[in-house]
């Protein structure tokens, strides 16, 4: 930090605090002369403190509105009404064309007196640009995911309406089934997007209750059999002494439906649904953190997931080497597990395939205890 003279030097504690700020800070006296700035200000603006301190800030630091007007001329921080306290954050441009977010605070020695200090804070817009880029990518991906099934629905429905008599009953049934499947795909994508928004906003609601793991597994196996899978394809391995878990039944069904569907689609052979103590294979410190939890395990006999991809599978719209899903299922699964206070990971199954292991509590949350 640089100061113009000794009598204006801030205490050492204040100087260190200003240096720790993530934003750039510059202060002026009542005549707009720069008194000091922190190192973050130099990084953002590219202006050296030695070239700034003691000079008129308006001449050294160029700030312009989107229409090219000088922000200093528009706001006049050192003049104007004596009731002003500062300016809210605004997107401005430096002389080199770089965008910054700027706020200002006016300091007066007393009520209705002239400004004798102005503090200007500058924030880099890099994070904002990344957020906007992520939003644009999300919109683009969602549009792509919606376009494919909607194109199919539109195409088959239009064909049936215009040429109904030309098709046999079997052909009509096939096209209607395709329309139904694509409509279900759109509905699922919208539901998952709503869950994603709730997870990101921290508004996902969990209503836990005691549940029997073996009974839940058996119910999901019966559902899979009812959709055409062989009963022999599934193995349920839950020890008799496995305690009840505390989970939201609807959300747990959503977790298991995603993991089982993933195992059936990408795996081969048997799908195993198991339960084990949450401390299996972990360090003593990790075991202490997971006391009072049980691991639920879904594994398959497929090719498995490469170690380099095991964190990526939980990201938005990750499809790996294949398509056929929205790419949001595992992202939602991770959010749902963490909302229960658990954790989920991918590892090698004993059979060599992929194994998803997630922990859930065996005791009610504090607000229900």
Whether residue 298 is predicted with pLDDT greater than 60 in this model: the reply is yes
Contact 115, 108 (CB under 8 A): yes
CA distance 95 to 324: 50
CATH of the domain at 176: 1.10.287.130
Residue 46: which region, alpha, beta or left (left: phi > 0; alpha: psi -120 to 50)?
A: left
Which helix (H) or strand (E) covers residue 178, if one does? helix 169-201
pLDDT at 68: 84
- For residues 339-363, average pLDDT: 90
Domain assignment of residue 366, yes or no: no
Same domain for 156 and 90, yes or no, is no
> Residues 62-74: pLDDT tens digits?
999 888 889 998 8
Contact 208, 365 (CB under 8 A): yes
CATH of the domain at 59: 3.30.450.20
Last residue of a domain, one of 124, 158, 181: 124
Same domain for 226 and 281, yes or no, is yes
Question: With pLDDT > 90 as the criterion, what percentage of the chain qualifies?
Answer: 41
Domain assignment of residue 13, yes or no: yes
- For residues 46-59, average pLDDT: 92
Same domain for 244 and 286, yes or no, is yes
More confident residue, 5 or 128: 128
Q: Total domain count for the chain?
A: 3
Q: How many residues does the chain have?
A: 369
Same domain for 188 and 226, yes or no, is no
Last residue of a domain, one of 82, 104, 124: 124
| Phi and psi angles of residue 350, each rounded to the nearest 5 degrees, phi first | -55, -30
Whether residue 9 is predicted with pLDDT greater than 50 in this model: the reply is no
Domain assignment of residue 224, yes or no: yes
If you search the block for the tokens 């001449």, which residue do you land on? Answer: 59
Last residue of a domain, one of 143, 176, 201: 201
Which domain does 102 fall in, by range? Answer: 6-124
CA distance 349 to 42: 53
pLDDT at 8: 47
């Amino acid at each position: 930090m640089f100061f113009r003279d000794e009598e204006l030097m801030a205490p050492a504690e204040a100087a260190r605090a200003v240096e720790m700020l993530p934003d750039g800070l510059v202060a002026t006296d009542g005549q707009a002369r720069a008194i000091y700035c922190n190192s973050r200000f130099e990084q953002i603006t590219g202006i050296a403190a030695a070239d700034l301190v003691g000079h008129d800030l308006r001449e050294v630091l160029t700030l312009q509105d989107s229409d090219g007007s000088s922000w200093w001329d528009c706001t006049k921080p050192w003049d104007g009404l004596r009731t002003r306290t500062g300016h809210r954050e605004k997107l401005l441009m430096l002389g080199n064309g770089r965008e910054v977010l700027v706020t200002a605070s006016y300091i007066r020695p007393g009520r209705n007196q002239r400004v004798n200090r102005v503090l200007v804070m500058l924030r880099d817009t890099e994070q904002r640009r990344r957020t906007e880029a992520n939003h644009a990518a999300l919109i683009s991906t969602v549009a792509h995911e919606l376009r494919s099934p909607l194109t199919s629905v539109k195409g088959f429905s239009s064909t049936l309406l215009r040429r109904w008599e030309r098709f046999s009953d079997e052909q009509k049934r096939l096209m209607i089934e395709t329309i139904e499947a694509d409509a279900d795909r759109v509905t699922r994508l919208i539901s998952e997007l709503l869950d994603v928004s709730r997870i990101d906003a921290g508004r996902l609601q969990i209503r836990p209750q005691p549940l029997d793991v073996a009974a839940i597994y058996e119910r999901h196996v019966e559902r899979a059999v009812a959709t055409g899978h062989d009963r022999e394809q599934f193995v349920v391995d839950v020890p008799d002494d496995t305690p009840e878990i505390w989970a939201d039944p609807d959300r747990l069904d959503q977790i298991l439906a995603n993991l089982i569907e993933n195992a059936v689609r990408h795996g081969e052979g048997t799908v195993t649904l198991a339960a084990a103590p949450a401390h299996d294979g972990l360090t003593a410190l990790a075991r202490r953190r997971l006391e009072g939890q049980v691991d639920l395990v879904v594994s398959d006999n497929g090719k498995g997931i490469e170690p380099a991809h095991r964190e990526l599978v939980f990201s938005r719209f990750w499809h790996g080497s294949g398509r056929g899903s929205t790419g949001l299922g595992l992202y939602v699964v991770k959010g749902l597990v963490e909302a229960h206070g658990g954790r989920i990971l991918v590892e090698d199954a004993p059979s060599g395939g992929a194994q998803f292991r997630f922990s859930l509590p065996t005791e009610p949350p504090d607000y229900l205890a």
